[in-house]
Copies of this chain bind each other. A is one copy, B any other.
């Protein structure tokens, strides 16, 4: 039995949620399944003396060139047939000594703010791209299922774990904060109530500073103060 780590990397650019995917390729660098290109979540087998967290950090660095990122384990997936579908055989036969060996995977999610800049991941595994969630095609293995589970986890943990701030720029407006919440929770929120609730939160600190370079009336900026949570 092998064990791998897979990473669901979410990015938010102020408009949409995106996920980082990697193009599977053959050993000679060509794309697998030329006719409909197969994408996958970044992941790798765990090395013999590597902790789970170290493996996740290595996957991020090697496959996406992204370092020092918020990474959190959320679930393990172990269906005995999860790597045995026809669509995955070509890649498995290229890269695995025992293509039919069972692989249990421990999944992490990561959060990246794409406001200030979009990390352009260089990957030795193939091309990478930030893909809008609603445009994600059929992925390798059970990666669509893992992505759905990650999104559900993000929904559940957004408020209690205050993780939304990792998707926002350091200085953000309340409109940006509300839009992110609406997107992740998949529902419209009442602007007045949202602002009333946020103003009660000591960890959301109003700054003596406004937006710059916008065409509309510049809005006040806020910052997240994690120390106020203790």
Contact = CB atoms under 8 A, between A and B. Distances in A.
A3 interface: yes
A75 to B, nearest CB: 7
Contacts of A3: 1, 3, 78, 104
A106 interface: yes
Given A73-B75, A156-B160, A160-B156, A49 B80 contact: yes
Contacts of A104: 3, 46, 52, 104, 106
Interface string A50-80: 1110000000000000000000010111111
A102 interface: yes
Interface in A158-202: 160
Nearest to A80: B49
B1 A46 contact: yes
16 contacts: A1-B1, A1-B48, A3-B78, A3-B104, A46-B104, A50-B80, A51-B78, A52-B77, A52-B78, A73-B75, A73-B76, A76-B76, A78-B106, A104-B106, A156-B160, A160-B160
Interface of A: 1-3, 46, 48-52, 73, 75-80, 102, 104, 106, 156, 160
